[in-house]
């Protein structure tokens, strides 16, 4: 008896509640007694019996119950109340089911047959005892007996099929079936024939109804027995469940089950049935199971509730003995297997917060003629099969926390389709499968095999591999792959090692991508495999596209193989296995160094021999990694890959082709593809720029457009400068570029195209250290004056047409005087008149060829006279050109054209510097006055010379007059002392010899390049005598090695075949001597006295 609660009387109620009295029992007793007496007197007593029992059910009253159940519903509190309630329910069960009286029902037909047969027996008794004249033989008595008996029997059967349990059970209606229709008709015919025979012999007409009605339902007997067995089983289930519920003190569910149906049992004691409930969720949870479980366990039973598909009004109860049956016996009985599977599903569902559903099991495999393997589906709230695989199958056997099937001796594996599972006992190898039946359940995308045994073996391997992956990914909180495509696995082998490639898929949940798995070092978790890496999987249907939910897992076979190369410099070969290994090594480097892994494509070997290796590897950066990031990480990437060379061919901001290996030879015959050799050389240059720091903030670097041989040993390289890279930065990186690229020499050329840079480069210094003058280059066909060799091996010439004047400067001992001698000698050989002046050193270098010169002035006043004469010559020639139609010197008729004139002024910079050391003379000392007078006179001459030179520089070009100015290394502002200095300087070409400061010695635009060229030359053997820079007017600078044309006697001998020149008379241009105190200077009537003495600021050019 369960716990009940007695109702307490209301003390305020003055009158007691009237006691409920039910008279159904006396009515039924009296009815039975009277009906027996009527039958004894030949009257239809059964009719009265039926009426009496119906009246008793109507008069029955429910007893007053003084107890309460857990939900505060009335409940018997004593055995007396329990008996009274039971009697009430039995009385109410009579004539309660109107379907029991349905004339179409087989049972009602049978009751009619029984009633008619009873009436027939009454008739035969009277006929046999010869009492046919009694009431027993009257038609109304027989008819009343037949009807009364039929009704009473139908009501009795209905009452027997009405449950007395608290949870209701229903008797399944028995209906006619088409499958038994022929048999029923046969029995009906037999009954009709038999009844006709009896009637003919005895005249007993009730047999005409009784026998057919009795015999016709006989074929339906098995249905009635099944319904009866089902009802009995339901009653047992309801009784069992009511008994446990009655003992629960504080139930988790809000109400009792309303009905129990569809009970199924097994020989080993498992039981499964449906319960009708208002809230299935309250029953299919762990709390309800835990409420009832202790009372079930006390009866050596266990229970669990699961959802019955999508049914919202029922739950499926599963009850089984605590003792687990043998797996063979378990799988041999469908109910046992389903109950145990449902209980396992509930257990694991409760452990991992999943609503359990009912099992659907389809046998597909057999062992010893008994079912041994099943396709398992769950009907109801479908669980996440990925969670089932990851949580329900962890390899645990720890009781309630163990894997699915661990408590019942079965194995379960999840199908890779994640729509169902496979349940089996024993070993898969010992099971014979119905492959045709199982075909629809094999996931073709996982494996196309038609052998179910092999398919399940692959799944077992799949689960084992997933366990390995699960352990490997625990620390990084990534889910294991959900699909391992074994059918698509490939094996790549060489003579010494092999690699296995297996495609895998990952879950769409969580937003994870294949690249998330590439940054993990899986080698320790994979048995310390030499190779265990994840590669991206390209999408073959879309160009330059990758799958985000699939990747390729590459593992060495066997796992540990020390013969497998692990650095790119050792991967020599062009087989598919070598290419795959190179891909793995590169991918691992990117994944380890960059903040996000890169997608590495299929590498291609560039070498056609095993002596060197260079792999061409397409790479796609991901996760916001920029070229700048890759540039910064280049040294570490190269080290990680084990490459001596790593070249980057950028296609766009995220795509690059990496050329990595141990060598990059320039000989095309060593390359698999000659055109790739040319591309690699360009990439070497690109890399040299990048290493020199010529990159933008976003990592873009200078790229090589072309690289081809030029003149001599030089090669011409054309580069594209990316937007955002300032020209100053490019210039500052040239030296670093040359050093990285292995060039000893480079020279920048002007480019007409914006964003483009042109350079001449050479691996060694292209200039010789010493060159003898080669006068054979003078042909007389042009006015060019050769004086040295340029970096491309061509002759350096001074062409007055594009560079009218020339400044030759240099450091001490650099050979600037020698180049002046060479140019003067070249001019003489071209028939140009040459005049030389050097007030500072006396023009001693030119003295051996004095007779070849039209003027040789070694004094300051002589220099002034020569420049004044040159200015007058310029004006004369300009006037001559004007008189002959204008133009320039070259347009004059040959008959009147004066010869070209070269004025060589050596140590020119000293002529521009004035003497400011005047001595104060407070005592009027005449010697001091004379000294100061001479200083003023000398400064005036210098001013005059500067004025003349500036005039010649700016105006003499069209008159056929050239200036060759020799000077020591100038300072930046030395030429600014000239009048009209800006214009004058722009008319000069420059030769600067030696390794000094180029400011003032070359034009300002070329200072940076000039300094770089000098530094470059100093780093590669220094600056031999005669080497320097040559800058034509308005052009860039070139490195030049000047000729050596001899000095002294050698110079005189070299020029001995040249005609002597007629000296010009400069006496009229000589400046007059200053008047000194106490000194009388004889008058020279032949010379014009020009006083240049001035103490005013008109001649001072300091400003």
pLDDT for the residue 787:
94
Catalogue the E-assigned strands of 805-960. 805-810, 833-837, 855-857, 901-905
Backbone angles phi and psi of 432, in degrees to 5 = -100, 125
* Cβ burial 1033-1049 (10 Å sphere, 16+ → b, else e): beebbbbbbbbbbbbee
Average pLDDT over residues 66-85: 77
- 888 preceded by cis ω (within 30°)? no
* Cβ burial 86-108 (10 Å sphere, 16+ → b, else e): ebbbbbbbbbebeebbeeebbbb
pLDDT greater than 90 at residue 805: yes
CA dihedral 1088, 1091, 1092, 1095 (to 10 degrees): 180
Structure confidence by residue, pLDDT tens digits, 37-64: 877 776 777 888 888 888 888 888 878 8
pLDDT greater than 90 at residue 870: yes
pLDDT greater than 50 at residue 536: yes
- pLDDT band for 836, please (50, 70, 90 cuts): very high
Cα–Cα distance list, 308 to 227, 239, 355, 414, 835 (Å) = 22, 21, 11, 21, 121
DSSP state for residue 959 in the 8-state scheme: G
Cα–Cα distance list, 981 to 951, 960, 986, 1000 (Å) = 10, 21, 8, 12
CA atoms of 756 and 86, how far apart (whole Å)? 108
pLDDT greater than 50 at residue 1102: no
Rg (CA), the chain: 61
Structure confidence by residue, pLDDT tens digits, 144-168: 777 888 888 877 877 777 777 777 8
Average pLDDT over residues 724-742: 89
Beta carbons of 919 and 931 less than 8 angstroms apart: yes
3-class state of residue 639 by DSSP: helix
Average pLDDT over residues 617-630: 91
Structure confidence by residue, pLDDT tens digits, 178-208: 878 888 888 878 878 887 887 777 666 777 7
Average pLDDT over residues 968-973: 80
CA atoms of 70 and 367, how far apart (whole Å)? 50
Question: How high is the mean pLDDT of the chain?
Answer: 85
pLDDT for the residue 148:
80
Residues forming the annotated binding site for ATP?
810-817
Average pLDDT over residues 130-144: 62
* Percent of the chain predicted with pLDDT > 70: 93
Beta carbons of 234 and 260 less than 8 angstroms apart: yes
Q: Which residues pair with 424 in a beta bridge?
A: 373, 411
CA angle 122, 123, 127 (to 5 degrees): 120
**Alpha-helical regions (H) of 781-900:** 816-829, 860-883
Higher-pLDDT residue of 1058, 75 = 1058
Cα–Cα distance list, 800 to 745, 817, 987, 988, 1058 (Å) = 29, 20, 11, 10, 21
CA atoms of 428 and 412, how far apart (whole Å)? 11
CA atoms of 959 and 945, how far apart (whole Å)? 19
**CA atoms lying within 13 Å on the CB side of residue 651:** 11
**Alpha-helical regions (H) of 956-1058:** 981-986, 1007-1019, 1048-1054
- pLDDT band for 588, please (50, 70, 90 cuts): very high
CA atoms of 755 and 1081, how far apart (whole Å)? 69
pLDDT greater than 70 at residue 544: yes
pLDDT greater than 90 at residue 556: yes
Beta strands 490-493 and 532-538: pairing type? Answer: unpaired
Beta strands 1037-1044 and 785-790: pairing type? Answer: antiparallel
Q: Which of 45-54, 69-78, 263-272, 635-644 has the lowest mean pLDDT?
A: 69-78
Beta carbons of 983 and 954 less than 8 angstroms apart: yes
Q: Which residues pair with 289 in a beta bridge?
A: none
pLDDT greater than 60 at residue 991: yes
Burial classification of residue 933, based on how many CB atoms lie within 10 Å of its CB (0-12 exposed, 13-18 middle, 19 or more buried): middle
pLDDT for the residue 445:
79
pLDDT greater than 90 at residue 10: no
- pLDDT band for 530, please (50, 70, 90 cuts): very high
Please say whether the structural domain 786-917+936-1069 has been given the CATH code 3.40.50.300.
yes
CA atoms of 358 and 395, how far apart (whole Å)? 24
CA atoms of 787 and 818, how far apart (whole Å)? 10
Contacts 24+ apart (CB under 8 A), 431-435: 431/365, 431/366, 431/367, 431/372, 431/373, 432/365, 432/366, 432/367, 433/364, 433/365, 433/373, 434/364, 434/365, 434/366
Q: Take residue 21 and report the two structure tokens written for it.
A: 């009295």
- Sorted by where each begins, the domain ranges of the chain are 24-223, 248-473, 786-917+936-1069
CA dihedral 190, 191, 192, 198 (to 10 degrees): 110
Q: Take residue 940 and report the two structure tokens written for it.
A: 């005036």
- pLDDT band for 838, please (50, 70, 90 cuts): very high
Beta carbons of 963 and 820 less than 8 angstroms apart: no
Whether the full predicted model's pTM is greater than 0.75, yes or no, is: no
Q: Which residues pair with 318 in a beta bridge?
A: 272, 304
Average pLDDT over residues 366-392: 81
CA atoms of 368 and 345, how far apart (whole Å)? 27
CA atoms of 926 and 931, how far apart (whole Å)? 9
């Amino acid at each position: 008896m369960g716990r009940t609660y007695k109702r307490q009387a209301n003390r305020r109620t003055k009158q007691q509640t009237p006691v409920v009295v039910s008279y159904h029992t006396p009515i039924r007793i009296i009815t039975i007694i009277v009906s027996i007496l009527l039958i004894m007197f030949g009257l239809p007593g059964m009719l009265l019996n039926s009426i009496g029992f119906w009246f008793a059910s109507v008069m029955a009253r429910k007893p007053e119950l003084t107890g309460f159940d857990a939900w505060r519903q009335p409940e018997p509190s004593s055995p007396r109340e329990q008996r009274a309630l039971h009697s009430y329910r039995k009385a109410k069960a009579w004539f309660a089911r109107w379907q029991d009286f349905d004339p179409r029902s087989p049972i009602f037909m049978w009751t009619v047959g029984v009633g008619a047969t009873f009436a027939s027996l009454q008739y035969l008794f009277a006929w046999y005892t010869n009492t046919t004249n009694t009431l027993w033989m009257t038609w109304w008595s027989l008819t009343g007996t037949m009807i009364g008996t039929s009704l009473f029997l139908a009501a009795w059967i209905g009452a027997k099929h009405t449950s007395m349990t608290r949870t209701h059970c229903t008797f399944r209606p028995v209906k006619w079936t088409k499958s038994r229709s022929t048999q029923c008709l046969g029995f009906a015919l037999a009954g009709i024939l038999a009844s006709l025979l009896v009637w003919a012999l005895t005249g007993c007409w009730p047999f005409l109804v009784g026998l057919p009605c009795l015999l016709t339902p006989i074929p339906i007997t098995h249905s009635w027995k099944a319904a009866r067995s089902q009802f009995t089983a339901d009653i047992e289930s309801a009784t069992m469940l009511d008994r446990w519920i009655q003992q629960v003190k504080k139930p988790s569910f809000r109400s009792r089950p309303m009905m129990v149906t569809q009970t199924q049992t097994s020989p080993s004691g498992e039981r499964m049935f449906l319960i009708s409930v208002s809230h299935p969720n309250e029953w299919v949870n762990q709390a309800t199971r835990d409420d009832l479980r202790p009372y079930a366990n006390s009866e050596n039973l266990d229970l669990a509730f699961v959802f019955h598909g999508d049914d919202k009004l029922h739950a499926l109860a599963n009850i089984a003995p605590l003792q687990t049956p043998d797996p063979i016996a378990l799988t041999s009985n469908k109910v046992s297997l389903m109950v145990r599977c449902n209980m396992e599903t509930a257990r694991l569902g409760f452990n991992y917060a999943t609503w359990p559903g009912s099992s659907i099991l389809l046998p597909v495999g057999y062992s010893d003629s008994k079912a041994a393997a099943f396709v398992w589906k769950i009907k109801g709230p479908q669980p996440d099969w990925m969670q089932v695989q990851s949580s329900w199958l962890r390899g645990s056997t720890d009781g309630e926390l163990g894997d699915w099937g661990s408590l019942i001796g079965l194995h379960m594996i999840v199908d890779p389709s994640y729509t169902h599972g496979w349940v089996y006992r024993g070993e898969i190898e010992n099971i014979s499968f119905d492959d045709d039946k199982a075909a629809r359940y094999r996931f073709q995308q996982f494996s196309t095999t038609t052998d179910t045994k092999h398919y399940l073996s692959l799944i077992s391997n799949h689960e084992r591999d997933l366990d390995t992956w699960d352990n490997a990914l625990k620390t990084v909180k990534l889910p294991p792959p959900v699909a391992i495509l074994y059918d698509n696995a490939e094996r790549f082998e060489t003579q010494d090692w092999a690699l296995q490639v297996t495609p895998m898929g990952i879950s769409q949940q969580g937003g994870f991508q294949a690249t998330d798995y590439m940054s993990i070092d899986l080698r320790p978790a994979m048995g310390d495999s030499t190779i265990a890496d994840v590669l991206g999987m390209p999408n073959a249907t879309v160009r330059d596209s990758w799958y985000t939910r699939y990747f390729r897992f590459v593992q060495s076979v066997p796992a540990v193989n020390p013969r497998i190369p692990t650095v790119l410099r050792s991967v020599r070969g062009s087989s598919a296995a070598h290419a795959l290994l190179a891909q793995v090594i590169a991918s691992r480097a990117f994944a380890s160094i960059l903040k996000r892994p890169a997608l590495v494509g299929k590498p291609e070997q560039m070498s056609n021999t095993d002596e060197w290796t260079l792999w061409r590897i397409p790479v796609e950066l991901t996760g916001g990694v920029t070229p700048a990031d890759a540039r910064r990480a280049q040294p570490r990437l190269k080290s990680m890959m084990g490459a001596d060379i790593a070249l980057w061919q950028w296609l766009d901001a995220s795509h690059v082709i990496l050329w990595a290996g141990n060598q990059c030879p320039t000989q095309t015959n060593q390359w698999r593809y000659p055109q790739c050799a040319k591309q690699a050389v360009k990439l070497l240059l690109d890399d040299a720029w990048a290493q020199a720091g010529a990159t933008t903030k976003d990592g873009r670097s200078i790229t090589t457009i072309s690289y081809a041989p030029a003149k001599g040993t030089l090669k011409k390289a054309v580069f594209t400068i990316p937007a955002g890279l300032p020209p100053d930065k490019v210039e500052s990186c040239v030296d670093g570029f040359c050093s990285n690229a292995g060039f000893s020499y480079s020279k920048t050329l002007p480019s007409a195209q914006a964003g483009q840079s042109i350079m001449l480069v050479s691996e060694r210094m292209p200039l010789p250290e010493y060159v003898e003058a080669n006068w054979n280059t003078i042909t007389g066909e042009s006015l060019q004056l050769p004086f040295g060799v340029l970096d491309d091996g061509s002759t350096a010439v001074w062409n007055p047409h594009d560079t009218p004047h020339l400044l030759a400067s240099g450091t001490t001992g650099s050979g600037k005087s020698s180049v002046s001698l060479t140019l003067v000698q070249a001019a003489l050989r071209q028939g140009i008149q040459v005049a030389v002046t050097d007030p500072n050193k006396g023009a001693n270098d030119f003295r051996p060829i004095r007779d070849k010169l039209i003027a040789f002035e070694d004094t300051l006043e002589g220099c002034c006279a020569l420049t004044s004469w040159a200015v007058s010559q310029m004006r004369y020639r300009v006037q001559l050109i004007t008189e002959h139609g204008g133009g320039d010197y070259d347009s004059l008729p040959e008959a009147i054209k004066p010869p070209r004139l070269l004025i060589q002024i050596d140590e020119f910079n000293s002529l521009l510097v004035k003497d400011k050391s005047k001595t104060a003379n407070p005592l009027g000392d005449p010697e001091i006055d004379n000294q100061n007078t001479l200083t003023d006179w000398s400064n005036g001459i210098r001013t005059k010379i500067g004025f003349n030179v500036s005039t010649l520089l700016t105006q003499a070009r069209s008159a056929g007059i050239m200036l060759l100015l020799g000077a020591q290394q100038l300072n930046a502002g030395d030429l600014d002392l000239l009048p009209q200095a800006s214009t004058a300087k722009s008319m000069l070409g420059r030769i600067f010899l030696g390794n000094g400061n180029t400011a003032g010695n070359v034009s300002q635009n070329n200072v940076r390049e000039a300094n770089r060229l000098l530094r470059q030359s100093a780093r590669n053997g220094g600056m031999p005598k005669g080497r320097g820079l040559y800058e034509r007017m308005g052009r860039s600078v070139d490195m030049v090695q000047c000729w050596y044309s001899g000095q002294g006697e050698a110079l005189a001998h070299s020029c001995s075949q040249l005609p002597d020149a007629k000296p010009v008379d400069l006496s009229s241009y000589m400046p007059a001597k200053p008047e000194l105190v106490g000194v009388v200077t004889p008058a020279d009537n032949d010379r014009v006295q020009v006083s240049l003495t001035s103490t005013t600021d008109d001649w001072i050019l300091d400003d």
